[in-house]
Chain A
Amino acid sequence: MTASNEYRFQVNLSGMIQILSNHLYSSPKVFLRELMQNATDAITARKEVEPGYQGEARIELTGTGDQLTMMVEDNGVGLTEADIHEFLAMIGQSSKRGQQALLDGETSFIGRFGIGLLSCFMVSHEIVMLTQSIKGGPSMEWRGKPDGTYTIRQLDTQLSPGTKVYLRCTPDAAHYFETEYVKEALFYYGALLPYPVTLLHDGVQSVVNQDSPIWLTRPELARSCRAEVLAFGERLLGEKFQDFIPLTTATGRTGGIAYVLPHAVNLNAKRSHRVYLKRMLISEKAENILPEWAFFVKCLIWTDELQPTASREHFYENEKLEEVRSELGDALRMGLADMAENQTERLQKLIRLHALSMKALAVQDQAFYAMIHRWLPFETTRGHRELGELIDEGETLYYTGSIDEYRQIHHVASAQSMLVVNAGYIYDKELMAMLPVILNNVQTERIEPDEVSMTFTDVAPAERNQYYDALRLADSALQRFRCRAEVKGFKPSDLPVLFTLSQESSTLRALEKASEESTDLFSSVLGSLSAGINSAGYSTLYLNVNNPIIKRVLTSPDNQMTPIAIEMLYVNALMMGHYAMNKQELEVLNQGIVRFIDWGLRANTDRKGDA
């Protein structure tokens, strides 16, 4: 029996780097972030041992062409030889540590040191690190190559504690080593860092990040430094903002500034907020840190309580994130509530730009709705109006449930100066339905197109009786269109007929239309479906007794003429209502026109014959 041998997987490092650069990180440019992160972690760790210690990071660019080199230095804790072996020689070790640290509640400084350093292979074929640990021991040099080999040696000289990383730029990464680029990138990642970051190039030295403003730690103070906060937002987020709302959470471990976007936003637009974890930029496209409805703001957020994903570009969707999200949402809501009470003009401006956002929020939150309802805009038969104005009219607010319904009735409703709100737009229907719940003295009522008739004047039974024969002829003519006739009086009187259809008959029309166009198989499938709705789906053709022509049609029933006139009025109503007609209806239209021309001509020759 042979003993089984145990082997170890060989991991191809250049393959790993390929994976890192193409899949884990969004772009090679993150190497700088990873280096800054390592520096920050090292400084933070040193501060824990030596409270009050003043950390700093220096970045130096030297050489040109294939000698172009970047050096990143920090005065943090540094690494001992044992640290190097543990964290740089074994890939995956450090991230495992991170997991453990997460369970312990805090991420240790060394966190993901190794994997972060690896990202440098995306821009450099060699990484040299010189380091001196505060724990003492000799200064060390580590040299790594992307093929997975590395060397370690002790230095003869003793360096001061800290770490220096040297990168020699590869030809296709030259762009990432340009001074202006590096300067921008350092600000971008490190604008909020609590220690100075210095860039050295051609003998010129500049501090990339200014002193951190007081409102970074206490967002509630931001209101009193308005201009400064706005300017900061403009520099960091690249937009000229005019308004903002400070964000705070109960623990104080997450805070931020919500800048109100100065332009309207698409509801489907990606929400991108800029989030700093322990003062280092972690994401510029964090979508999940604020509630869905907060699409009218772009936020700067800093936190030290959320867990980043492996790429450090997003956060894990966990309970903590959920808690933070709802607290930030509350802060935003409170900010708006405060405006509603104290600065209505500011709120009005905001609502004009971001009406959809406000409506989305109002649907979810009745108290908020009650607060801001007056300024929400709606489309009505009396033009675009704010809800407050509509309420002041003191009438019942009728609203339609869809744009289609509104289209059907708005002519008639406007002619009768009836106030109808087009609630077919997103959220409007829900808001209209909720309104009486939040305001006691307001009535709203959903109106169906076939209910517009309730504002029509009824025709007295005795009068209706006179039209009995004409109506019977009309009904039988309309039956094949699944439509029935009714006599009413309504404005405007030059409108002879009005066609309305219920939701169901609307579906039926669509079914028939599609069925005519489709394959045999699908037509028969649609047929099975329409059989289910057939019974209820009758539409109505209202004949307007106030109209002189209708009056004539009604008072002189004729077995031959009346059905044709009614059919023509029916297709005319369809055209007026911009309905797409099916084949049968088009035929009626065509034949009808020809027949009327024929009659017209014949009447003409008859008259000539009389003369």
Chain B
Amino acid sequence: MKTEMDFEDLMEEAYQLPNGPAKLGFLEEAARVADVNGMVEEAYEARSEIVDAATFCGYPMKALIAFSWQLGKFDQQPELYDEETLLWSYKWILGKMPDFPEISREKIMELLEDFGARFKSYGYSERSYWYYRFRIFMDFGELEESGRSYDKFRTLDRDFMSDCEACEQDEIMRYFMLKGDDEKVLEVAKPILKGRMSCAEIPHLTLSEILMPLYRLGRTEEADKYQVKGYRLIKGENDFVQSFSEQMEYLTLTNPAKGIDVLEETLVLAADHEDAYAKMLYYAKAAPLLRRWTEEKESEGYRMRLPASFPYEGDPGDLLKLADYFAEHAQTVAAKFDQRNGNTHVSSLIAERRI
């Protein structure tokens, strides 16, 4: 009976699946079997896989839980495990920390220092530390401090523990986006758009990020092309909820009917997301999209197809009320982030603006 498979079978099943809840199900089951039977190294192995899969399909909490367990085991017997793999995943975990509003600023800084110290102790380049410092301050909305780290990390040498160039470039782009420098955003995006830099997540992320900068510069023809291309790359992927929000924001202004398609196709992914930050952005962009859609004639009598698991109890035909539901959720979560960050960075990010 499948419900009583042993560790090896479960891992085997998991390896055959693409990242997603089903794969995580098998891996968690494998970790549980290993735990119950006192198979520590197997439990560690299963959790390595959980961290990997969960990070890239919208389950940062599961990733964090598995990673915490691993780190504890590692510290007890470092000779048993591979430090490179573990510290590589530390980067993923650290990068996601600011997305949990429950985790205080102080704790995140402590984690950053812990991360830096561990990298240093193995002789890795300090670049990773400064690069993540740059990202974390960006997440806090402290652009000056982030800028200082930006200047610093770029002077340091890359090594095999550095993030890939494409990912770094994308973060740099995000920095100029937050600074409101659209021209610079596109300049930084160039090597990615030209296909000279790419990885598993790039250009996927980039193609949605540049839509609004292009729009603001009046280059909608290019933007339309990137929208189609970008959406095709991310469609159906749990990892790109934030990108869906960027797609919706752009389509709200240029093609609300298509925006509604995106909303209906992706809501099931967003609603089930553990990443509070990405989900908040998504909800924040869904609201104005719905409102804009109600101004269209086609929207008359239109009922939103909501996923079965979606907790909204109201009438799916009352689009304005649904918009309020999304907006309220986003604002509540944004307030939590603001409180944690000690500023209004996040709520100003999601404030509705008429362009």
Contact = CB atoms under 8 A, between A and B. Distances in A.
A518 B72 contact: yes
Given A410-B3, A525-B107, A404 B102 contact: no
B165 interface: no
A531 interface: yes
Greatest chain A CB density within 10 A among B21, B68, B309 is at: B68
Greatest chain A CB density within 10 A among B2, B35, B100 is at: B2
Contact of A525 (B36, B68, B308): B68
Interface in B222-259: 229, 232
A510 interface: yes
Interface in B73-121: 73, 75, 97, 100, 102-104, 107, 110-111, 114
Given A268-B18, A518-B68, A402 B25 contact: yes
Interface string B9-27: 0000001111011110110
Contacts of B25: 402-404, 424
A404 B29 contact: yes
Interface string A401-437: 1111011001000000000001011110100010000
A511 interface: yes
A133 to B, nearest CB: 37
Given A529-B103, A580-B36, A446 B309 contact: yes
A353 B200 CA distance: 30
Contact of B36 (A267, A507, A578): A578
B170 interface: no
A64 interface: no
Nearest to B74: A519
B81 to A, nearest CB: 13
A605 interface: no
Nearest to A434: B308
A523 to B, nearest CB: 7
Contact of B26 (A403, A525, A532): A403
Interface stretch (B58-66, B152-160, B286-294, B313-321): B58-66
Interface string A381-413: 000000000000000000001111011001000
A468 interface: no
A322 interface: yes
B32 interface: yes
Contacts of A454: none
Contact of B69 (A403, A406, A513): A513
Nearest to A446: B308
Nearest to A575: B36
A266 interface: yes
Given A403-B25, A579-B32, A532 B65 contact: no
B17 A267 contact: yes
B209 interface: no
Interface string B30-72: 0011011000000000000000000000000110111111011
Contact of A514 (B32, B65, B111): B65
B275 interface: no
B3 A403 contact: yes
A521 interface: yes
A522 interface: yes
Given A406-B3, A529-B100, A515 B17 contact: no
A524 interface: yes
B71 A519 contact: yes
B139 interface: no
A426 B104 CA distance: 36
A342 interface: no
Contacts of A523: 68
Contact of A511 (B20, B26, B65): B65
Contact of B64 (A422, A446, A526): A526
Contacts of B102: 528-529, 531-532
A71 to B, nearest CB: 39
Contacts of A403: 2-3, 22, 25-26, 29
A317 B3 CA distance: 42
Contacts of A511: 65
B28 interface: yes
A379 interface: yes
Nearest to A578: B36
A518 B107 contact: no
Contact of A407 (B3, B64, B75): B3
A517 interface: yes
Contacts of B62: 510
Contacts of A379: 2
A9 B32 CA distance: 63
**Which 8 pairs between the two chains have the least Cβ-Cβ distance?**
A580-B35, A426-B22, A518-B72, A518-B68, A517-B72, A522-B68, A514-B69, A403-B25
11 contacts: A427-B22, A446-B309, A510-B65, A513-B35, A514-B66, A517-B72, A518-B68, A524-B107, A528-B102, A528-B104, A528-B107
Interface of B: 2-3, 15-18, 20-23, 25-26, 28-29, 32-33, 35-36, 61-62, 64-69, 71-73, 75, 97, 100, 102-104, 107, 110-111, 114, 229, 232, 307-309
